[in-house]
């Protein structure tokens, strides 16, 4: 089993995985003010909470879109498991054929998600990852990563809306009861949820028009569970996609 970590702008996703099992997946806040020791304590506590023996972990791998803390989390993980921890970067073997203008610009989280999706699902496909940003990654029928789209995430949109309305702070997202809201909070929640669902449907329609063929859609990320049930398109939800991709990449490079 390995320790797999994805450092995002809002959360650090931490999991222990092997070929047959996800032992756990947890999230802690991404804080640039945390020290190496504090991240090590987070990791140690999570392993103990889920009864994972450090001696059973053979190594680790990190993907990150927050370079300021990548090295710190790597050192913290190595401190806890006493094994080398790989950081996914441009020198890492992934097997992914990236056809964007500058392959180095593709986020390591998008790389890991695409690697896992290609192995688990049929191409062509669109991978929708809903975190701080919502990203759509397009993989063609020949398993080439063509690029995609990056749009403001669900919570970014909600926070932007409430930040400019003094009476609307502290709204949390939940499943809409109806499309038409009957009070201000319901109107805002419905607007955020349905607009994001329709955005995904609409962007995939445009992607299919450009590719000239139908695609499978795989969704992952912390907010996918909330949004994808309201999409009109058939979407496969895979919460484990990114960590499974990190496991595949780790095995290629160990």
User: Fold match between 2-87 and 97-244?
Assistant: yes
Class of domain 2-87 as given by CATH? alpha beta
> How confident is the prediction for the chain on average, in pLDDT?
93
Is-contact 76 37, C-beta < 8 A? yes
Residue in 42, 56, 89, 109 annotated catalytic: 109
- Domain spans, the chain: 2-87, 97-244
Is-contact 236 218, C-beta < 8 A? yes
d(CA 182, CA 171): 15
pLDDT < 70 positions in the chain: 164-171
Q: Count CB-CB contacts under 10 A for residue 240.
A: 16
* Reported pTM: 0.89
Mention every residue, 6+ apart, whose C-beta is less than 8 A from residue 165: none
pLDDT tens per residue across span 188-236:
889 999 999 999 999 999 999 999 999 999 999 989 999 999 999 999 9
| 84 a catalytic residue | no
Class of domain 97-244 as given by CATH? alpha beta
Which pLDDT does position 169 carry in this prediction?
58
The HSE-up count of residue 145 (CA atoms within 13 Å, CB side) is 29
């Amino acid at each position: 089993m390995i320790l797999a970590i994805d450092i995002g702008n809002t959360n650090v996703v931490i999991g222990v995985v092997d070929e047959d099992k996800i032992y756990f997946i947890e999230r802690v806040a991404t804080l640039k003010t945390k020290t190496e020791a504090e991240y090590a304590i987070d990791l140690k506590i999570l392993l103990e909470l889920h009864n994972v023996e450090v001696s059973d972990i053979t190594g680790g791998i990190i993907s990150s879109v927050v370079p300021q803390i990548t090295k710190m989390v790597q050192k913290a993980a190595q401190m806890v498991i006493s094994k080398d921890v790989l950081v996914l970067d441009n020198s890492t073997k992934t097997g992914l054929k990236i056809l964007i203008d500058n392959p180095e610009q593709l986020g390591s989280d998008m790389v890991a998600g695409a690697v896992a999706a290609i192995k688990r699902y049929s191409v062509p496909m669109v991978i929708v990852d809903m975190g701080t940003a919502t990203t759509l990654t397009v993989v063609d029928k020949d398993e080439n990563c063509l690029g995609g789209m990056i749009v403001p995430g669900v919570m970014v949109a909600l926070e932007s809306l409430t930040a400019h309305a003094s009476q609307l702070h502290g709204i949390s997202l939940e499943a809409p009861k109806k499309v038409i809201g009957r009070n201000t909070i319901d109107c805002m929640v419905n607007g955020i949820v349905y607009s994001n669902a329709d955005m995904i449907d609409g962007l995939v329609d445009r992607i299919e028009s450009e590719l000239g063929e139908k695609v499978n859609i795989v969704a992952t990320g912390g907010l996918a569970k909330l949004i994808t049930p309201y999409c009109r398109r058939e979407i496969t939800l895979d919460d484990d996609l990114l960590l499974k991709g990190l496991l595949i990449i780790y095995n290629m490079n160990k």
